[in-house]
Amino acid sequence: MAAGKHDTAHAVPAPRPGDALIVVDVQNDFLPGGALAVPRGDEVIPVLNEWIDRFRAVGLPIVATRDWHPPDHCSFSPQGGPWPVHCVAGTHGAAFAPGLRLPPDTIVISKATRSDREAYSGFQGTELAERLREIGVRRLYVGGLATDYCVLNTVRDALREGFDVIVLRDAVRAVDVQPGDGERALAEMERLGARIV
């Protein structure tokens, strides 16, 4: 597949056994009004809700990752990091978006929980890969926030771990610190072997 050419016209494959849905960091602080708001980040919620319902209907696993920082995390500006204080563990800002219909049996993965380590990827410093393998998952459908940070890095690690990856284009939004970061991240994920649908 040509790099940078997203196959948006292609139908999304139907979820089947061996698939899991990964909802990346759909937390209050990444939504409009939050501490590190992703522009139009709230627009992913209804799209992800449809995917959640679809995976639930056929009994396939749903994973939700969350940024879950200590109050003095190294990525925060008071510590010299690039971001405002956000997603402090246990706060309202770190809670999943109230409109997200996560089922009670959602597999929740908390990441970047150590003060001295940044982790954009849901696989970094977590048991995500092992948990997925244990339940026979081989292919991941990925959506959430933000395209250019946690989605990109989660997809990169997923591919490295040997999972097939489908990125749900309508279900991701970018921070776009530099204009075009989100588009470049999608092109990079495709180059690495993800399907962008």
Binding string, 54-73, against ligand VGL, x = CB under 6 A?
-------------x------
Q: 51: which 2 tokens?
A: 């995917």
One DSSP character per residue, 42-98 reads GGHHHHHHHHHHHHHHTT--EEEEEE-B-TT-TTBGGGT-SB-S--BTTSGGGSBPT
Query: Are 85 and 77 within 8 A, CB to CB?
Result: yes
Strand, coil or helix: 169: strand
Does residue 87 carry a catalytic annotation? no
Q: Which of 111, 117, 30, 121 is nearest to 74 (CA)?
A: 117
Chosen residue from 67, 148, 157, 190 binding Zn ion by CB under 5 A: 67
Least distance (Å) between residue 9 CB and ligand VGL: 27
Q: Interacting stretch for ligand VGL, rule CB under 6 A, among 50-58, 131-139, 141-149, 159-167?
A: 141-149
Q: 78: which 2 tokens?
A: 């008071």
Interaction of residue 190 with Zn ion, rule CB under 5 A: no
Q: Interacting stretch for ligand VGL, rule CB under 6 A, among 39-47, 92-100, 133-141, 144-152?
A: 144-152
State the residues that interact with ligand VGL by CB under 6 A.
25, 36, 67, 75, 83, 120, 145-146, 149-150
Could you give the residue numbers annotated as active site? Answer: 25, 111, 150
